[in-house]
Amino acid sequence: MRIAVPKETRPGERRVALAPDSCKKLVQAGYAVSVESGAGDAAFLPDEAFREAGAAVETDAAAMVGSADIVLHVNPPAADGAGRDEIPWMRPGTILLGSLMPLRNPEVVRTLAARRITAFSTDAVPRTTRAQSMDTLSSMANITGYKGVLLAATELGKYFPMFMTAAGTVFPARVFIIGAAVAGLQAIATARRLGANVFATDVRPEVKEQIESLGAKYVGVELKESASAGGGYARELSEADKVRQRELLAEQCALADVVITTALIGGVTAPKLITAAMVKRMRTGSIIVDLGADGGGNCEVSRLGESILVNGVRIIAPLNLPATMPTHASLLFSRNLAAFILTFTKDKSFVLDLSDDIQKASIITREGEILHSRTKEALQKVRV
């Protein structure tokens, strides 16, 4: 089978879907791999590295994708008709594998279905032990949590750690982290490594032990209804519980030097947790890093993709942070995709098996149908 790896065309994207080390493993497993020339340049992975891994480096992207059985992508393929319309390049029945974020890109899903592409989205793999090595959502969230703390440390007008100097002692920064899934836990660990005094909260009380194991102090409220949606995800709170949560957040944000938000509902949508009134109560010179920006933002005054100053508070809402660490982000993303393919490889070919729990959960489209139930429901609502 032939695997094609085209360049990513999303503005600001520097990752590539396949790194040379994973490319080598796929070639050894019997796949013929082609990579578009320059696809890895922004991640400091040159064409020569792919050639050494056994891949062919192609200059005609349309022909490469058109002859492929499997196409690997970081983001959904370009489908805007602005000079690079990748979906029509694919033959019906082609397998597309990448982080498609179907609920954020429903029209792309509709186009893939119309083209009869078999599309798998690795951000939809179940959070099980067996699927862990294929979970791009977690791999990239880990980078997001790490880089978000570094952004805060760079912008804060204070040290993160406590320092005892000849000029006297300065006390550690107080960092408040909202959300303790993968990004939040990595943010806690990174802030602690930098010496900050870290507090964290999550609507799922079962993560208290994880927060404390990383050296942070857990703060939370007792909810009337469970907020766990299973699989490490949270669901939206009831109105009564939202009121209780706002009170806690307002209190903790007012005390913090740095607030880092990582909350997503179902791993997709960012709930608005920090209000303008909360920002107004925060200390002058404090920082908010809104890591929910890709899902719409956790702070109601965030400007997505920008850094702004509001009442003396710096609010940073970065988009696509993994792309700012393209070498390791590409390496990890690539390993996730290769793990997916190799798990279902038999006799040098990818075997489609929708009875398997991983394939069943992550398949989005096949044979003209949208199989991902939540995306199908979202598109039906748009039509209504």
pLDDT in tens, 30-82: 999 999 999 999 999 999 999 999 999 999 999 999 999 999 999 999 765 55
Percent of the chain with pLDDT over 90: 84
pLDDT in tens, 356-374: 999 999 999 999 999 988 8
Q: Which of 55-64, 92-101, 244-253, 370-379 has the lowest mean pLDDT?
A: 370-379
Domain ranges of the chain: 2-124+325-368, 144-323
pLDDT of residue 32: 98
The pLDDT of 104-115, averaged and rounded, is 93
Strand arrangement, sheet containing 307-310: 217-218, 197-201, 174-178, 258-261, 287-290, 313-316, 307-310
Do residues 360 and 52 make contact, with C-beta atoms less than 8 angstroms apart? no
Query: What is the pLDDT confidence band of residue 223, given thresholds at 50, 70 and 90?
Result: low
Q: Which of 37, 132, 133, 307 does the annotation list as catalytic?
A: 132
Do residues 135 and 129 make contact, with C-beta atoms less than 8 angstroms apart? no
Q: Which of 226, 233, 307, 349 does the annotation list as catalytic?
A: 233
**Phi, psi angles (nearest 5°) of residue 352:** -80, 125
**Which residue in this structure is represented by tokens 């857990």?**
218
Higher pLDDT, 188 or 234: 188
**Closest of 180, 178, 177 to residue 191, by C-alpha:** 177
Q: Which of 15, 22, 135, 252 does the annotation list as catalytic?
A: 135
Q: Which of 123-137, 161-175, 230-244 has the lowest mean pLDDT?
A: 230-244
User: Known catalytic residue: 31?
Assistant: no
pLDDT in tens, 328-346: 999 999 999 999 999 999 9
pLDDT of residue 236: 65
User: Known catalytic residue: 132?
Assistant: yes
Q: For the chain, what is the mean pLDDT?
A: 93
**Closest of 373, 366, 354 to residue 117, by C-alpha:** 366
User: Known catalytic residue: 186?
Assistant: no
Quick one: CATH architecture of 2-124+325-368?
3-Layer(aba) Sandwich (3.40)
pLDDT of residue 221: 74
Q: Which of 99, 138, 252, 302 does the annotation list as catalytic?
A: 138
Query: What is the pLDDT confidence band of residue 384, given thresholds at 50, 70 and 90?
Result: very low
**Which residue in this structure is represented by tokens 């303008």?**
276
pLDDT of residue 80: 59
**Predicted structure pTM score:** 0.91
Q: Which of 100-109, 205-214, 285-294 has the highest mean pLDDT?
A: 285-294
Which residues are bridge partners to 165 per DSSP?
168
Q: Which of 127, 193, 235, 246 does the annotation list as catalytic?
A: 127
Q: Which of 2-6, 223-227, 263-267 has the lowest mean pLDDT?
A: 223-227
Q: Is the pLDDT of residue 167 over 60?
A: yes
2-124+325-368 and 144-323 share one CATH topology? yes
Residue type, 272: K
Do residues 62 and 87 make contact, with C-beta atoms less than 8 angstroms apart? no
pLDDT of residue 268: 83
Q: Is the pLDDT of residue 260 over 50?
A: yes
Distance CA 145, CA 264 (A): 13
pLDDT of residue 37: 98
With respect to CATH, is domain 144-323 assigned 3.30.360.10? no
Contacts of 144 (CB under 8 A, 6+ apart): 183, 186, 262, 291, 321, 322
